Amino acid sequence: MTQTDVTPASGSERGTSGPILEVSNLTKHFPVRSSGLIRRTIGQVQAVDGVSFQVQRGQSLGLVGESGCGKSTTGRLITRLYDPTSGSMKFDGREIATLNNKQMLPLRSEIQMIFQDPYSSLNPRHTVGTIVGTPLRVHKVVPEKQVLNRVRELLEVVGLNPEHYNRYPNEFSGGQRQRIGIARALALQPKLLVADEPVSALDVSIQAQVVNLLQDVQKEFGIAFLFIAHDLAIVRHFCPEIAVMYLGKIVEIGDRETLYNRPHHPYTQALLSAAPDVKQAAIGGRRDRIRLEGDVPSPINPPSGCRFRTRCWRAEDLCAKVEPPLLQIGKQHKVACHFAGEFDAVGEKPVPSTLAALGVNRAGDKVADATVDVESLDKAGYDDTWTDLAEHRQASAQVAG
């Protein structure tokens, strides 16, 4: 575990400035054990393997990717339902990666989670009043006499009849149950909400209503969101910034406009080509569909170098040998691909754009006396200066050999 600081940050960092959440090099490996009497550890599921990102106050970051890429594990690490294997998570300027349960307790009210399945996440034996009122009681937010009133208010905020507090979850539809989950999450007035596929289990006709509710809630209470989804279309409406995950890593992160209009990573391009595009449909066309070959490799034994290379049409030897860094290539845009920026160089032999930054040649071998600032390549957030791809390609061309 990295060295961490459990004392509250200084006033300038806490409260009003800086990101509400800063995640750096976060890793979660689950042990794989042998069967039999003596259950030895025989491998590790590399569910999350060194992700870095920031969530700004009152803003939302979308986290997308196929099933199994580590989105939920990331959400559960941030809410500390899981302990990280390594890495740092700063919430409101304070390191939370190493806090124990007792130290985490006061912060639990500030980071809440909305779960995917509104059927299994609500206790069927408890009334709505108990479900929404319990966090108020546990954290002693209001005196006992006022709990019921507060529950009624919260039900009203999420568009439910406040008089239904004594009903049970099975008396509600899926969309209504998710509203109960949202009311419960709002009870403690969190600063950050981790919404793990909050509408995936709902009918398409209901999804938009719940997303609209979340949007209203965000505006009204200024809550920051980490919005986890496999559906790029939903994230597009909710999040001004989006991170794309593949096999435990972030492969591209950036502002919505750049990511949707000029995605650089082949995986983002493939995901987008599979998503319905209303604008494109309106002008009578659609994006060319990119069909990815093969299955997602096992996170127990991921491919060397770039994890996407086994399914990538652009991959060459370099990709197997050297992992591409998450390189900042625009004001608010980072991408982890040796061939970033080459998507429109049709017919030309592409030159990798990362060689100069990594100090390697095209065969992936270290170049003598190259200076590489590896730490800056793993940083959360964006720098004021970034890699100009055209310039870098020229520099890379010189080391490409």
Ligand X SMILES: Nc1ncnc2c1ncn2[C@@H]1O[C@H](COP(=O)(O)OP(=O)(O)OP(=O)(O)O)[C@@H](O)[C@H]1O
Nearer to ligand X, 76 or 152 (CB): 76
Nearer to ligand X, 39 or 219 (CB): 39
Q: Considering the complex, what minimum distance in angstroms separates the CB of residue 219 from ligand X?
A: 27
Nearer to ligand X, 136 or 202 (CB): 202
Nearer to ligand X, 115 or 382 (CB): 115
Longest pairwise C-alpha distance within the chain: 76
- Asked whether 221 and 213 are in contact (CB, 8 A), the reply is no
DSSP 361-376: -TTSPBPTT----HHH
Q: Considering the complex, what minimum distance in angstroms separates the CB of residue 281 from ligand X?
A: 26
Query: Checking DSSP bridges between strand 241-246 and strand 60-64, what pairing results, if any?
Result: parallel
The helix/strand/coil state of 356 is: helix
Q: Considering the complex, what minimum distance in angstroms separates the CB of residue 70 from ligand X?
A: 4
Give the separation between CA 180 and CA 323, rounded to whole angstroms.
44
- Amino acid letter, residue 78: I
Q: Considering the complex, what minimum distance in angstroms separates the CB of residue 69 from ligand X?
A: 4
Nearer to ligand X, 191 or 236 (CB): 236
Q: Considering the complex, what minimum distance in angstroms separates the CB of residue 96 from ligand X?
A: 19
Helix orientation angle between 174-186 and 128-138, rounded to the nearest 10 degrees: 20
Nearer to ligand X, 18 or 302 (CB): 302
Give the separation between CA 59 and CA 219, rounded to whole angstroms.
9
Binding region for ligand X (CB under 6 A): 30, 45, 47, 65, 67-73, 230, 299
Beta bridge partners of 30: 45
Tokens of 262: 């000029």
Give the separation between CA 276 and CA 362, rounded to whole angstroms.
37
Q: Considering the complex, what minimum distance in angstroms separates the CB of residue 48 from ligand X?
A: 7
**Helix (H), strand (E) at residue 182:** helix 174-186
Give the separation between CA 218 and CA 309, rounded to whole angstroms.
38
- Amino acid letter, residue 384: D
Nearer to ligand X, 77 or 111 (CB): 77
Nearer to ligand X, 284 or 294 (CB): 294
Q: Considering the complex, what minimum distance in angstroms separates the CB of residue 27 from ligand X?
A: 12
- Asked whether 52 and 255 are in contact (CB, 8 A), the reply is no
- Amino acid letter, residue 318: L
Angstrom CA distances, 103 to 76, 83, 401, stand at: 17, 13, 54
Nearer to ligand X, 70 or 325 (CB): 70
Q: Considering the complex, what minimum distance in angstroms separates the CB of residue 28 from ligand X?
A: 8
- 53, 121, 116, 130: which is closest to 90 by C-alpha? 53
Q: Considering the complex, what minimum distance in angstroms separates the CB of residue 45 from ligand X?
A: 4
